Amino acid sequence: MTLGIVVLIGLVVVGVGFFGLYRPWHLRWGATREELERTMPGDEVVSAPIFDATRAVTVEAGPEAIWPWIAQIGFGRAGWYTYDLLDNLGRRSAERLVPELQHIEAGQLVPMGPGKDAGMRIKEFEPYRSMVWWDKHHLTTWVWALDPTPGGSTRLVTRVRARPSWRHPATAFWLVLFEVADFPLMRKCLLGIKRRGEALARERSWHGPEGSRAYDEHA
């Protein structure tokens, strides 16, 4: 068997493993069938996505303990609650709420990295319920949704939809990056928000209405 055939077989095995097993699994990590099939805010922007990922996690807290962490997220802001060396140039993601970062508005930039316009912008939001980001070409959307459950917990659901455009060649690069790096970072981010939201909910239950202030002071 020649080296070329061995390499070809290896590429086929890797391709089958990635596209047949790993990709379908990570594109729906943690999400229920209902969450995968439902329409979410912003879906209409990217009608035929090449990359379409819906991930979710259960947070043992109400939306009021989760929303503030999402509101302050971003490079150079509170960070991404993930691998800070990769996503925040080594600066540690916030372990407390930052009051000056809690105000958000439509059109506001959510920084993804260094640079004046390196990021996505807030398209729309409903406080404590959902927030939609989109890129300047409207080829990528990123939505966050908070769905309370009867038991008092919250389903934190995120969806990223993207497609390339021949008019904007860099979009192809971003799609490759999504395929390779998006899931490990997103999983870590969701779990980071979950941990912080549950800690804030516990703090508030111990301290009553002043719990969020106590959490800020002791974080």
- pLDDT of 69-92, one tens digit each? 999 999 999 999 999 888 788 889
191 HSE (CA, 13 A, CB side):
10
- C-alpha to C-alpha distances, 67 to 35, 156, 163, 183, 202, nearest whole angstrom: 19, 10, 28, 21, 15
pLDDT of 111-137, one tens digit each? 988 877 889 999 999 999 999 999 999
Domain boundaries, the chain: 31-218
Dihedral (Cα; 30, 32, 33, 34), 10-degree rounding: -140
Residue whose entry in the numeric block shows the structure tokens 């998006």:
182
- Whole-prediction pTM value? 0.84
Q: What are phi and psi of 170, to 5 degrees?
A: -65, -20
Count of CB atoms situated within 10 Å of the CB of 48: 7
**Which string of b and e fits 5-29 if b means at least 16 CB within 10 Å?**
eeeeeeeeeeeeeeeeeeeeebbbe
Tell the burial category of 77 from Cβ atoms under 10 Å away from its Cβ (0-12, 13-18, 19+): middle
CATH for the stretch 31-218: 3.30.530.20
Give 22's DSSP letter: I
Give 65's DSSP letter: G
Residue whose entry in the numeric block shows the structure tokens 């260094």:
114
- Stretches where the chain sits below pLDDT 50 are 6-16, 18, 209-219
